[in-house]
Structure 1
């Protein structure tokens, strides 16, 4: 994440986002710089208007909380059992995923 922050700092200070500048910002922050990550970042940002990307991200609606959508739907529609069935199916799928993964971290530690 610090690599992206370095690019944002450079953009905000009207400096060019290039390998040399990104490396300088990261080193001044005490980061052990990986040259390949710097090159990848600079290449990825080559055709990106950072100001526009930041504005777009800021204007995007925040994602809804995990279970809130289902609860609101179920509470607002008492005559419809489909919401409950969907929640049960989702819970069953989650349980199957946990079983397939070996019950999570517990399997790692016995």
Structure 2
């Protein structure tokens, strides 16, 4: 993941993403550099519009946010229903015990 972060940092700084630049960022961060991973990353990013890729990656997250906000409300309803069921079960059990002794 550090390799991708290094590339994103270079992109955000307006620098060209080259093997030497990625190695320099990783070395400055104290990461042991794997030459093969650096070459693979730079080759994979060649011709990729990073801004567009970031925008497309952020879209599903933004669309999922309203659904995630609704999830706690649904959980609260389930908890309330469980509490009501427990009360009913307790009352029924008490009535059954009373019949044994009554």
Structures share fold, TM-score greater than 0.5: yes
How many aligned positions are there? 69
5+ residue gaps, structure 1, are 69-110
Q: 1:46 deviation in Å?
A: 0.1
CA RMSD of aligned residues (A): 2.2
Provide the rounded CA distance (Å) in 2 between the counterparts of 1:56 and 1:10: 20
For residues 83-108 of structure 1, the C-alpha deviation after alignment (integer angstroms, 9 at most, x for no partner) is xxxxxxxxxxxxxxxxxxxxxxxxxx
Question: Which of the two has greater helix per residue?
Answer: 2
TM-score (normalised: structure 1) = 0.56
1:5 counterpart residue number:
5
5+ residue gaps, structure 2, are 72-102
Provide the rounded CA distance (Å) in 1 between the counterparts of 2:42 and 2:18: 6
Provide the rounded CA distance (Å) in 1 between the counterparts of 2:8 and 2:31: 16
For residues 11-65 of structure 1, the C-alpha deviation after alignment (integer angstroms, 9 at most, x for no partner) is 0000000100000000000000000000000000001111110011111244988
- Max Rg structure: 2
